[in-house]
């Protein structure tokens, strides 16, 4: 799972490094948060198709999910992209998806995303109740061993951690996104009472894009605004391109996480697709 893809630099970094991810980790499914792909805010149909071509099997969108109206039809029609499941009723798209690994002998991976409520400024429903509602909608195996991944797109680590404890033992993994800074708390949560599975957790995945920045935006205008209060356009940064994310090992027979590893990879601006 890759953190928020920020701007063209993030998309190009992902396109360049997904082959390295496959070579190094041999993943069955590659997922990414794509909500900042369109110059830092939203996703367009063309960018969606480019990310699919680059090897992203499934995409999540956060608080900028509905920023670009042209993405609405993609959200409605395609099965490998979701927006937060706790948006108000009537929002285009869906809050969970089933991603089938290329190896058809493997079970589907169920992925869902919700927005946090603290400091997000959106009219979102209770994320905890919304996750419980979506969990009840999932098709389940007879012995309840489905692989389930939950993304908490939130501003505060406390709310993300709370979601981890809420779902401990019920899902395969809970991971946070939105704040663009990778956290050092990747772990398997302690065994939950009467739980059949272990849950992997991390507070934030980090981001994919220019890391000589302030969470993906060029340093100078952000500093000017913070020091003077003068409005500045927060342009997307493109220096020091990297991708951040996690690799989760899951026992497909039980849906239990057996390992979680955080990683960072550096892209090369002197190689395609940057040179193109």
SS3 for the chain is: CECEEEHHHHHHHHHHHHHHHHHHHCCCCCEEECCECCCCCCCCHHHHHHHHHHCCCEEECCCCCCCCHHHHHHHHHCCCEECCCCCCCCCCCCCEEEECCCCCCCCCEEEEEEECCCCCCCCCCCHHHHHHHHHHHCCCCCCCCCEEEEEEECCCHHHHHHHHHHHCCCCCEEEEECCCCCCCCCEECCCCCCCCCCCEEECCCCEEEECCCECCECHHHHHHHHHHCCCCCCCECCCCEEEEEEEEEEECCCCEEEEEEEEEEECCCCCCCCCC
Active site residue: 22, 64, 211, 225, which one? 64
Give yes or no: 211 in active site: no
The residues that are catalytic are: 64
């Amino acid at each position: 799972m890759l953190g928020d893809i920020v701007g063209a630099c993030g998309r190009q970094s992902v396109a360049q490094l997904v082959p390295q991810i496959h070579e190094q980790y041999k993943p069955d499914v590659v997922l990414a948060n794509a909500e900042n792909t369109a110059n830092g805010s939203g996703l367009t149909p063309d960018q969606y198709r480019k990310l699919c071509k680059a090897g992203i099997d499934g995409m999540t969108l956060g608080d900028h999910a509905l920023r670009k109206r042209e993405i609405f039809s993609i959200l409605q029609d395609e099965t490998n992209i979701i927006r937060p499941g706790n948006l108000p009723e009537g929002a285009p798209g869906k809050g969970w998806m089933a991603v089938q690994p290329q190896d058809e002998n493997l079970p589907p991976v169920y992925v869902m995303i919700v927005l946090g409520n603290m400091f997000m400024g959106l009219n979102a429903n209770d994320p905890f109740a919304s996750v419980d509602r979506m969990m009840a909608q999932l098709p389940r195996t007879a012995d309840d061993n489905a692989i389930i991944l939950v993304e908490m797109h939130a501003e505060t680590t406390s709310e993300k951690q709370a979601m981890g404890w809420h779902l401990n033992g019920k899902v395969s993994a809970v991971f946070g996104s939105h704040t663009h800074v990778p956290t050092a708390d990747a772990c398997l949560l302690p065994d939950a009472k009467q739980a059949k599975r272990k849950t992997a957790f991390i507070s934030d995945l980090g981001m994919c894009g220019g890391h000589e920045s302030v969470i993906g935006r060029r340093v100078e205008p952000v500093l000017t605004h913070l020091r003077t209060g003068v409005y500045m356009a927060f342009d997307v940064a493109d220096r020091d391109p990297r991708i951040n994310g996690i690799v989760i090992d899951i026992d497909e027979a039980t849906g239990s996480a057996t390992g979680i590893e955080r990683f960072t990879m550096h892209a090369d601006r002197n190689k395609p697709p940057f040179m193109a």
